[in-house]
Amino acid sequence: MEVDEPVLLPRLARVAVCGGTHGNELSGVYLVRELLKEAQEKERDDEGPLSVQTLLSNPRATQQCRRYIDADLNRCFSLATLNGPVSEAAPYEIILARELNASLGPKGSQEAVDLVCDLHNTTANMGLCFIAYSDKDWICLHIFKHLQRQMPDIPMRFIHFNISKKESYSLDSVGKHGFALEIGPQPHGVVRSNVYTAMKVGVRHILDWIHYFNSGSVFEGGYVDVFTMVKNIDYPRDSQTHNITAAIHPRLQDRDFCLLCPEDPLFQTFSGEELTYKGNEPLYPFFINECAYYEKGIALSLARKKRVMIPPIRAQTEVEKQASEQSFASEEEE
């Protein structure tokens, strides 16, 4: 049997774990505080080459237990927003995004941290999700595969937003690799012990995987299911007041990632009428009835599922890294 040679990838020397990018998503807020306390107590000087930075991304929103103060921080990291003109009266989160980009990025540069894991909660029944911009980032996909194996009792999916690096807008896009770790259901402004614990265990497995990777372990290839975002659907609304006139249908509520077929129940109006899904194609719903998306006009998102083959990978040794840099430099000289 032929065994594929592992793809060689640079070590992950600097990692950031962020919580409180949305100040009312409390699992990440309390987990980051706990990790900071643990780090203080342990003074992990003996941990070697991996530097893990833990931070509360939006301290003012966290203080007030609100999603954001002036603007959704997790929409402020496109290159256009990061590099556009900014006045002194700019929204708090625009200033904050530039500060975070300066400390974790700059986005797209060699100085950027190797991996950003940004912790989020949703009111939707989504289990644990990785949300990323690429379905070809072997690091993110391998970490996901590792978590699936380590936490078999937690429903787990990989969601892919098909958006270019330049246009990607969330905090995790600042790193060379990055993803949002989204866990639900949990009401915003509430911390549920089971959701907090799943996030804590997930982060521990992520950091373990990075240690194994940096230590030279070879990770086998394999298949991963990826849900690629297709479109959003808004609630039915009153044409004059713009108020919503229906809720998610009780038979769809909490059924994130179950196939939604044409003519399946979608909404139930407040007067009791059933409205069905009018699309042509069966798709997978997610972020069903997410609290923060009422204002964005999103009742649910729909995805297409596909299977992605990921190759075996291994971290470059120091010698391989130097050789690769030399080859890169000589290519540039040509």
Task: Tell which positions 104-123 bind a second copy, by CB under 8 A.
Answer: 123
Which C-beta is closer to a second copy: that of 203 or that of 226? 203
- Which of 60, 75, 192, 305 is in the footprint of a second copy by CB under 8 A? 192
- Burial of 121 (C-beta count, 10 Å sphere; 0-12/13-18/19+): buried
185 prior amide bond cis, ω within 30: yes
Taking CB under 8 A as the binding criterion, the range among 8-16, 206-214, 269-277, 302-310 that sits at the site for a second copy is 269-277
Is 120 annotated to bind a ligand? Reply is: yes
CA-nearest of 182, 143, 151 to 28 is 182
Q: State in angstroms the smallest separation of the CB of 184 from a second copy.
A: 10
Q: Does residue 129 contact residue 159 with C-beta atoms inside 8 Å?
A: yes
Q: State in angstroms the smallest separation of the CB of 235 from a second copy.
A: 9
Q: State in angstroms the smallest separation of the CB of 130 from a second copy.
A: 23
Calpha distance 17→207 (Å, rounded)? 10
106 prior amide bond cis, ω within 30: yes
Task: Tell which positions 76-105 bind a second copy, by CB under 8 A.
Answer: none
Calpha distance 142→221 (Å, rounded)? 8
Which two three-digit tokens encode residue 60?
């003012």
Is 93 annotated to bind a ligand? Reply is: no
**Residue that has been written with the tokens 């894991």 in this structure:** 117
Taking CB under 8 A as the binding criterion, the range among 33-41, 68-76, 160-168, 206-214 that sits at the site for a second copy is 33-41
The residue count for binding a second copy (CB under 8 A) is 35
- Catalytic, out of 182, 290, 295, 333: 182
Q: State in angstroms the smallest separation of the CB of 291 from a second copy.
A: 4
Contacts of 331 (CB under 8 A, 6+ apart): none
Which two three-digit tokens encode residue 160?
């892919």
CA-nearest of 281, 275, 294 to 231 is 281
Q: State in angstroms the smallest separation of the CB of 88 from a second copy.
A: 26
- Which of 40, 87, 110, 193 is in the footprint of a second copy by CB under 8 A? 193
Calpha distance 38→30 (Å, rounded)? 12
Taking CB under 8 A as the binding criterion, the range among 45-53, 142-150, 164-172, 248-256 that sits at the site for a second copy is 248-256
Is 111 annotated to bind a ligand? Reply is: no
- Which of 49, 59, 250, 297 is in the footprint of a second copy by CB under 8 A? 250
SS3 letters across 303-329: EEEEEEEECCEEECCHHHHHHHHHHHH
> Is 182 in the active site?
yes
Strands 222-233 and 300-310: what pairing?
Answer: antiparallel
- Contact residues toward a second copy (CB under 8 A) are 30-31, 33-34, 37-38, 65, 123, 185, 187-194, 196-197, 243-244, 247-250, 253, 268, 270-272, 289, 291-292, 294-295
Catalytic residue IDs:
182
